[in-house]
Structure 1
């Protein structure tokens, strides 16, 4: 919601400028998607938390009023960082939840994701109108960073308490990768 308003009102850009922002994000996402396969040996929780925090940090220049020369590459970086989120979080579900509970957990997750887009639109429009595009993007970037850091701290506390940061289940592990039988 806020990007078109940011480009047209704050940056005084044209439709071409808006297209450049979306193209930059798309190009970053394409590269991030291609790189996702190389993350398979990375620990899932820290990687997922890093993606969330990194995305928020990459969005900061847009909310801080950086010029196009800085905010455009930052938006491309945001796309690059965000692309592995869904595959990484799905792998986390598969590794953390038993095979019998996995369909219910994935259905619940899908319900939340399906609601997230219209809910974000419903909240983003009035927020952008009320506080402006730049402040909305800054608030969203800060909230994303805070959520990622809070999750990371909760996982560290869990690990230190002895309950482990990587829950175990009947899903795949590095020793037993995901196979067709797990799907």
Structure 2
């Protein structure tokens, strides 16, 4: 049976980290609505890179007084991610292709959580918690860097000849028979 080692952590400290992340997430969630006019690609990529950067202090040997505010910042930055990524999916594909894109995204997300957990256990056993957090923070920043590089690539026109996302030009609005303005003009 393996020997358990007390690393002098406490439930109070762990609770402080959860509270800090939750408080940051609450503020980030409230601020999400103000991002609607900002460009989605840079915001979403910035969230990923910023989150990785905010997680770095947890992987480094910094005091709780520095890592706790960093974890609050991580929560603040991460909160808008789901909304901005969903808006990107909706803007980047046609209505007909959207269910397929969202289903593929859902399949990846559903698999990513257990896969990350499955890989995290052996990594923590081999490297320790701090080094595993440091590796994850660095990998998150690198992933954001790759996304930033890919976002700068020129877009190819779709096979339909429309815009790069395949949506084409916006259709002209059609008058509705029950619209008082359009009655008698059709």
Aligned to 1:78: 74
Q: Which runs of 5+ in 2 are unaligned?
A: 1-5, 158-162, 171-186
Q: Over residues 34-79 of structure 1, what are the superposed CA-to-partner deviations in whole Å (9 max), with x where a residue is unaligned? A: 1000000111111110000000000000111111000011001000
Aligned to 1:107: 103
TM-score normalized by the length of structure 1: 0.82
- Runs of 4+ aligned structure 1 residues displaced above 4 Å come to none
Choose the corresponding residue for 1:136, options 132, 155, 159.
Answer: 132
Choose the corresponding residue for 2:50, options 49, 54, 57.
Answer: 54
Aligned to 1:178: none
1:95–1:169 contact (8 Å) kept in structure 2: no
Higher CA-based Rg: 2
Q: Which runs of 5+ in 1 are unaligned?
A: 1-7, 174-183
Let me know the Cα RMSD of the aligned residues: 1.9
How many angstroms apart in 1 are the aligned matches of 2:115 and 2:155? 37
Q: Over residues 146-177 of structure 1, what are the superposed CA-to-partner deviations in whole Å (9 max), with x where a residue is unaligned? A: 01011101212x1xx4649x954549x9xxxx
Choose the corresponding residue for 2:90, options 68, 90, 94.
Answer: 94
How many pairs does the alignment contain? 159
SS at match of 1:128: helix
Question: Aligned pair 1:21/2:55, yes or no?
Answer: no
The structure with the greater share of residues assigned to helix is: 1
2:56–2:133 contact (8 Å) kept in structure 1: yes
Residues 97/76 of structure 1: CA separation in 2 closer, same or farther (3 Å cut): same
Choose between structure 1 and 2 for higher RCO, CA contacts under 8 A separated by at least 6 residues: 1
